[in-house]
Structure 1
Amino acid sequence: MKRKKLLFADHDTSNQASSINKVFMESGFQVVTADNGRSALEEVVRGHYDLVIAELTLPRVNGLGLLRQIKEVKASLPVILISENAGVNEAVEAMKLGADDFLIKPLTLKMVEIIISQVSNGLGTADKGKSDGKFKVITKNQEMKRLLQMAKDVADSRASVFIQGESGTGKEIFARYIHHNSSRKNNAFVAVNCAALPESLLESELFGHEKGAFTGAIARKKGKFEMADKGTLLLDEISEMDYQLQSKLLRVLQEREIDRVGGMDPVPVDVRFIATTNRNIEEQIKEGKFREDLYYRLNVIPLLLPPLSTRKDDIPLLAEYFIDKYCKMDNRSVKGLTEEAMASLMQMPWRGNVREFENIIERAVLMCRGDLIDQESLFIIGGRGPSAEPGYSSIPALPLKEVEKNVIFRALDQTNGNRTHAADILGISVRTLRNKLNEYKKTMAEQ
C-alpha cells in the first residue's frame, strides 16, 4: 500500500514538533518538512502530497499566503493551518480561502489521531451526492437539484459553462463543483475576478508576458490561462471585462491558444472555461458593453441560479449547516434557533442571498448566550431585523451622497475590508466601488 505523503511547514524546532512528526511517521506517513512558506510552496509544486499542515506565521510567505497559492496550483490538495494565538478573523479568512481545518497549537496526540483518520478516509476528496468535498451545495430545493444534476452531467465535457445569478447565490461554488466532478479535478482550478484587476493589468494576468514586454517586466510570467492548463479557468464577473479584451478572449476560445504580451509565438492551452456574472447579460449586449459572439461561445451550457428568496425551503437546512460550521470553528455550543428567530429568517428578502445569510448566522453564533439563537442575537443592530422597514421619522435627513458613503463604508466594515464581497452586497462592480473610494479620498484631501 502506498504511503501517504505529508508536508509539514513550521519553523518550530522544539521537541514537541519533533514528536508530532514522529507520530505521523509511525502511522505510515512519509513526512517532508519545510521551515518557510516559499520552500513549502516549491515542494508542493514539484511533488505529490496528500496533505499540507502549515503554521500561520511562517517566514517569507505566511500560512494564509501559502494556502492561497496552493489553491491556485493544486486546488484539491487538503491544507490544515495551525497557530499558537490566532483569532477568529484569521480562522474565518483561512476557511474562506479553502483550508480544511484551522487548529490551535500545541497539537495534541488526539488532534494528530483525528488528522490521520481524516486523511486515511479521504480528507479533501470529492464527497458522494450533492457536494464536491469542501465546496458543498446545501439544498433540498428541486430547481437547485435539477441544476446540480445538469452541472454533474456536463462536468466531464469540454463545453464552456456560463453561470448567471445574483450576488451571493453560489456561482463560484457551482464552478468548483463542476471542476471536482470532472476528469480535470486533479489539475488546477484557477479563478480570475475580472472586476478586481485594473484593465491595464488584466491582459498580462490572463495571458502572461515576456521579459521586457513593458516597463517592470523583468522576467517571463505565466498568465492564468497557462496556470490552468489541463484544468479549469473561472472567469468571475466576466461582464466587467474591458470590451477590447473580450475579442482576445474570443480568439482563445476559438483557437485554444494564447499570445503572451510581448510574445512572438502562440502558446497552446487545454483549458475548460467557466464564466459567471451577476448582471443581465442580454442588457449588457444591447448597451454595447459585452460582445454577442463571445456570449454565444461561453453560453454553451447555461446555468441560472435562483435567488434565496425563491428557495425558502432551503433556509432551515442552511441554518443548521452554518450553525454547525461556526460552532466547530469558534468552539461554541449553539443547538439551533428559536421558533421566532426561524420565522424571521423565513420572512427576510435576502438580497445578499446565501452570502448574507451565512454572515448573519456566523454573527448570531458568536453573539448567542444560550443554547438557541433568539431574535436579540440574530439581529443586533438596534434590535431590528434587516427585513424590517424603519419608520421615516427615525431616519435623520442627510444628503444622498452622504447616505451612499455611509452604506459603502458599512458594507466594507461588514466584510472586513474585502472590496469584492462588499461590491457584491452593494450590487455594484468592484471598479465602481474603487472609483467611489478614490472620490472620497480626494474629497478628504481637499478639506
Structure 2
Amino acid sequence: MPLQILVVDDEPQIRAMLGGLLKDAGHHVLTSSSGEDALALLQQQTVDLILLDMRLPGMTGLEVLQRMQEQHFAIPTVMISAHADIELAVQATQRGAYNLLEKPIQPERVLLEVQHVAHRLELERERDTLRQRVGEAGEMIGEAPAMQQLRHAIQKAAPSEARVLITGENGTGKELVAEAIHRQSLRARGPFVRVNCAAIPRELIESELFGHERGAFTGATKRKIGLIEQAHCGTLFLDEVGDMALETQAKLLRVLQQNELLRVGGTQAIRFDVRVITATNKNLEAEIRAGRFRDDLFFRLAVLPIEVPPLRERGNDIALLAQYFLRQIANAYGRRPKSLNAEAQQILLSHTWPGNVRELRNSIERLMIMTEEEILTAEHVRQALPSLAY
C-alpha cells in the first residue's frame, strides 16, 4: 500500500536519492532539510513514516524526535545515522524510534523498512475497520443515570494524565471505557495497546510487557520490543490486572515509578512515555487483604477509579442496546435490520444478564441468525434463547 513518507536530511543528494527510490516504489514523498521545517510540515500534512537524519543543522534528529513526543506525534520514525553516530542512534531507539539505517544507505534496506511499516499500518487499519463493522469499539449506548455518571467520569478522566483503574463485572464494557478515555485524551493520535494479563502465561508476561534481547533465554533468537515500548506516546491498557502474579507486580511497580524499563536480558534502561489504564473484575482491596495484590501498586494504579455498572442496574438501556445490536449486526451481515415487539423486549428486560452487555450482544446475534421474520416476537425469543428468564 502506498505511504506518505517524509524524508528529513540536510544533504540534497540523499534527499534526491531517497525521494526517487520511494517514488519509484509507488509512495508519496515529502522532503525537508531541517528539523524545524519538518515539525512545521507535520502540522499541515498527514505522514505515515519519517526517515530522519541524526545530524541536522540547528535542531538535531534526537531533538526532533523529542519534540514529536511532546506534541504526541505517534509516527513510525527510522533514524539515518553515520557509524560515528551509533550511540546517539541507540538513544533515539530508546526514545521511540522505529529502527535505524546506517550510512552509506542501502536502497534494499530502505525498501524493506518501508515494507515493514506499510504491513503494520495495513494490519492496524484492517483491525480498525473490523472493529467498526462488528462494534467491538462500539458506542456507549444508554440513558440510565449510572451511564450518565460513567460518561461524566470519562470526560473528567480523559484530559488528565492520571492513571485510571476501571472496575466492573465481566462483560460490562471496561475496555470500551478505556478506549473512550484514550480517544478523548491528548494521546488520541498515539497507540492504544491492550494487554490481557490473565491470558498471557506467567512465564511469558515479562517478555511481553518489557520485551527481551536476543539470547535472553532459550528461543530468544532476536530482540523483541515489549508492549510498554509499543505504547510509547499512547495508552497502555492492562486488562485483568488483578490476575497478575506478585513477582510481576513488583517489577511493574518499579517500572512505573521510574518511567523506564529493562528488556529481559538487557542492561540499558529505556525511557518511555505512556499513560496506564487498568481494569479488573476483582475487588483489589480484598485481594490486598488476602495477600494476592500489592497495596503500593494499587495506589499507583487507582489514582482515578471508575466503576462500570452491570447491565441489570441499567433498566431500559437493555432495550436500547438490543435495538442497537440488531442494527449493527444486520449491517455486519449485510441483512435488513429487525426489530423487537413489546413482549419480546419485556422478556429481555426481565433477564438478569449475568454476562452483561457481552451476553446481550451474543444473544441478539443468535436471535438474528435463527429468525427469518423482521419483527421479533416473544415466541422467537423463547425459541432462540431458551436460557433467558421469562
TM above 0.5: yes
Q: Does 1:179 align with 2:206?
A: no
1:119-268 matches, cutoff 5 A:
134-268=137-271
Q: 1:70 to 1:281 in 2, by over 3 A?
A: farther
- What amino acid is the match of 2:371? C
Partner of residue 272 from structure 2, selected from 269, 272, 285: 269
Distance in 2 of aligned mates of 1:178 and 1:371: 36
Q: Does 1:363 align with 2:338?
A: no
Corresponding residue for 1:437? none
Distance in 1 of aligned mates of 2:291 and 2:198: 18
Q: 1:69 to 1:337 in 2, by over 3 A?
A: farther
Distance in 2 of aligned mates of 1:68 and 1:315: 40
1:276-315 matches, cutoff 5 A:
276-315=279-318
- 2:162 touches 2:275 (CA, 8 Å); kept in 1? yes
In terms of Rg, which structure is larger? 2
- 2:137 touches 2:176 (CA, 8 Å); kept in 1? no
RMSD: 3.0
Q: Does 1:331 align with 2:357?
A: no
Tell me the CA shift for residue 312 of structure 1: 1.5
Q: 1:336 to 1:278 in 2, by over 3 A?
A: same
Corresponding residue for 1:342? 345
Tell me the CA shift for residue 378 of structure 1: 2.3
Identity %: 40
- What amino acid is the match of 1:185? A
Distance in 2 of aligned mates of 1:295 and 1:138: 30
- What amino acid is the match of 1:353? N
Tell me the CA shift for residue 79 of structure 1: 5.9
Corresponding residue for 1:386? 388
In the alignment, structure 1 segments of 5+ residues that lack a partner are 8-30, 34-42, 50-65, 82-94, 103-130, 389-447
Provide the secondary structure at the position in 1 that maps to 2:212: coil
Tell me the CA shift for residue 273 of structure 1: 0.3
In the alignment, structure 2 segments of 5+ residues that lack a partner are 4-25, 29-46, 52-74, 77-116
- 2:331 touches 2:337 (CA, 8 Å); kept in 1? no
Corresponding residue for 1:84? none
Q: 1:135 to 1:331 in 2, by over 3 A?
A: closer
Query: Which deviations, in whole Å up to 9, do the C-alpha atoms of 1:166-190 show, x marking residues without a partner?
Result: 0000000000000000111111100
Query: Which deviations, in whole Å up to 9, do the C-alpha atoms of 1:250-283 show, x marking residues without a partner?
Result: 1122111111101112111101000000112122
Distance in 2 of aligned mates of 1:262 and 1:162: 30
Corresponding residue for 1:63? none
Tell me the CA shift for residue 101 of structure 1: 4.3
- 1:334 touches 1:373 (CA, 8 Å); kept in 2? no
Q: 1:68 to 1:244 in 2, by over 3 A?
A: farther
Deviates more, 1:326-335 or 1:200-209: 326-335
1:417-432 matches, cutoff 5 A:
none
What's the TM-score once normalised by structure 2's chain length? 0.67
- What amino acid is the match of 2:308? L
Q: 1:238 to 1:69 in 2, by over 3 A?
A: farther
- 2:179 touches 2:192 (CA, 8 Å); kept in 1? yes
Distance in 2 of aligned mates of 1:252 and 1:174: 25
Distance in 2 of aligned mates of 1:290 and 1:385: 36
Provide the secondary structure at the position in 1 that maps to 2:182: helix
Distance in 2 of aligned mates of 1:334 and 1:150: 33
Corresponding residue for 1:351? 354
Tell me the CA shift for residue 313 of structure 1: 2.2
- 1:232 touches 1:273 (CA, 8 Å); kept in 2? yes
- What amino acid is the match of 2:313? T
Distance in 2 of aligned mates of 1:306 and 1:67: 40
Higher relative contact order (CA 8 A, sep 6+): 2
Query: Which deviations, in whole Å up to 9, do the C-alpha atoms of 1:126-179 show, x marking residues without a partner?
Result: xxxxx9x95411111122112212212221221000000000000000000000
Tell me the CA shift for residue 44 of structure 1: 6.4
- 1:175 touches 1:274 (CA, 8 Å); kept in 2? yes
What's the TM-score once normalised by structure 1's chain length? 0.59
- What amino acid is the match of 1:240? D
- 1:361 touches 1:378 (CA, 8 Å); kept in 2? no
Distance in 2 of aligned mates of 1:188 and 1:256: 17
Tell me the CA shift for residue 215 of structure 1: 0.8
- What amino acid is the match of 2:230? M
Tell me the CA shift for residue 387 of structure 1: 2.2
Q: 1:238 to 1:349 in 2, by over 3 A?
A: same
Tell me the CA shift for residue 6 of structure 1: 6.9
- 2:212 touches 2:263 (CA, 8 Å); kept in 1? yes
Count of paired positions:
287
Q: 1:328 to 1:32 in 2, by over 3 A?
A: farther
- What amino acid is the match of 1:188? P
Partner of residue 320 from structure 1, selected from 306, 310, 323: 323
Deviates more, 1:284-293 or 1:343-352: 284-293
- 1:79 touches 1:101 (CA, 8 Å); kept in 2? no
1:35-50 matches, cutoff 5 A:
none
Distance in 1 of aligned mates of 2:190 and 2:342: 45
